[in-house]
A and B are shown apart, each in its own frame.
Chain A
Amino acid sequence: MRLIIVLLLFSSTIYAENAQVLFNQAASSYEKQDYKTALKFFSEIEDADLFSSDLYYNIANCHYKLQQTAEAVLYYEKALKLNPRDEDVLFNLQLVQLQLVDKLAEVPQTFYQKWADGLKNLRSIDQWAKLGLLFSFVFCVFFMIFLFTNTYKLKKNAFKISMSVLLVSVCSLFFAYYSHETTKTLAVLMLPNTYVKSAPSTQSEDLFILHEGTKVQTLEVFNQWTKIKLSDGMIGWIRSSAMQEI
Chain B
Amino acid sequence: MTTEQPATPDGVRAGATLLDIQGLTKDFPGNRALDDVSLELRSGEIVAVVGHNGSGKSTLVKILAGVYTSDGGTVALRQDDPEAPTEIHIIHQDLGLASELNAIENISIPKYQGASAWVPFSGRRERDAAARLISRFGSPFDVTVPVGTLAPAQRSIIAIARALDGWKHPRNILILDEPTEALHASEVAVLFEAVKKLAADGAGVIFISHRLDEVVELADRIVVLRDGRKVADESSEGIDHDTLVSYVTGVAAGEAETGRAARATGEVVLDIENLTGADIEGIDLTIRAGEVVGVAGVLGSGREALPALVFGSIDASADRFELAGEPYLRRSPSESIRRGIGFVPGDRAKLGSVRPLTARENVTLPDLESLTSGVAGISARRERREVAGLIAKYEVRPPRQEQVFAQFSGGNQQKLVFAKWLRNDPKLLLLEEPTQGVDIGAKQALYGAIDDAAAAGAGVLVCSSEAKELVRLCDRVLVLRGGRVAAELAGGRLTETQLVKEGYGLADEGAQ
Do A and B pair up? The answer is no
- Which A residues contact B (CB, under 8 angstroms)? none
